[in-house]
A and B are shown apart, each in its own frame.
Chain A
Amino acid sequence: MSEWLVEVFQPFLALALAPGLVGFIRWVKARLQSRSGPPPWQPYRELRKLFRKEAVVSGNASWLFRFAPYVLFASTLAIAFLVPLLVVPRHFDMVGDLFVVVYLLLLGTFWLALAGLDVGSAFGGMGSSRAVTVAALSEPTIATAIFSLALGAGSTNLGAIVMATMSEPSTVLTPGHLLAFAALAIVTIAEAGRLPVDNPATHLELTMIHEAMILEYSGRYLALLQCGSWLKLFVFFSLLANLFFPWGVATTLTLGALAWAVVTLLLKLVLLAVALAVLETRVAKLRLFRVPELLSTSFLLALLAITSSFLLR
């Protein structure tokens, strides 16, 4: 009974913490820019305000425009059910494996891209076009990295991968593992729309990818989309943290184990957040047609990861 409770509680914990993660990244970036910046809980205030605003919808839009934010949010929340945050979600583990996660992400991108085209503005079309390009080009890397992880664990189910890595700590130092981590880190940046692939704070429409698709949204729809995109970043960070370095994930359901799981999760997320903030401060945004080069690099890393996994078996 309590196992069910924790497994259902996990994704909502992810939902609750996701705005805080993004707020923390913004806070670190502000400090690195010598400003005091907004407090780390600013995104919660944004959401609160957005839920109180009315929604202005274009006359050209169809039912798809109003339906897409719900689909994006629901599919991202569904992924959160499959991610081993505090415990391995044994009951949900058999419902989906890593391929399900990847295709649920594609489901969200599909609907958002259609919504961008729905209003008939050039910005939306441009955002959709670029977003599906980046999504399609990240696919080979993700699939190869999944293969490499699955090879080590004997399964593509997330729970099995976590358990396999925890039972054999030496796998962390294998080149396959580390190269797959590097490849997936690059894909995280691409899929979550962070620098150097996409600047989430840009105001220049010609430099937007994700922003351009949501340019037409307002009110509660915008709140759902923003929350969904923050949850996506949180899910990616959790996957990077708990698939590759799963120590801290509770194997028993004692209060102590769960508390320790929370502490280690927060620690790993803070590390990743600081790393991302430092990276975003250091690099400039890549020209759109340089992004495929970056993604090919990540694919090469993933390919090297799988080759070394095969050869070192």
Chain B
Amino acid sequence: MKEKILVVDDEEGIRLLYKEELTDEGLDVHLAASGEEALAKLEKNKFDLIVLDIKMPGMDGIEVLRRVKEKWKNIPVILSTAYHHYKQEFGTWASDAYVVKSSDLKELKTTIKDILNTGRK
């Protein structure tokens, strides 16, 4: 069975890119354009992994991460953002991985695979 992942990003272009690239990797990719939409989808579906943007209008990624870890603490979350410096900031420690956005998705794909593989064991 395909692993189900949720991509949360406010940029349409990036959602589409993730959808295509990660589908090619054999994943069942679902999208959310905001934190609110992501939480709504989480209520209805069971996901194996979340890729979460930090900087979003409305509820930001850090807040989404906090709520996810409260309610679905077993779902791994990969934070993805344009900056390195969030890495050290308070609030990101709870995520399972941290990936800096780049047009080269290699790092993200490897991280997703690593986390899903550990989960299976």
Partners in one complex: no
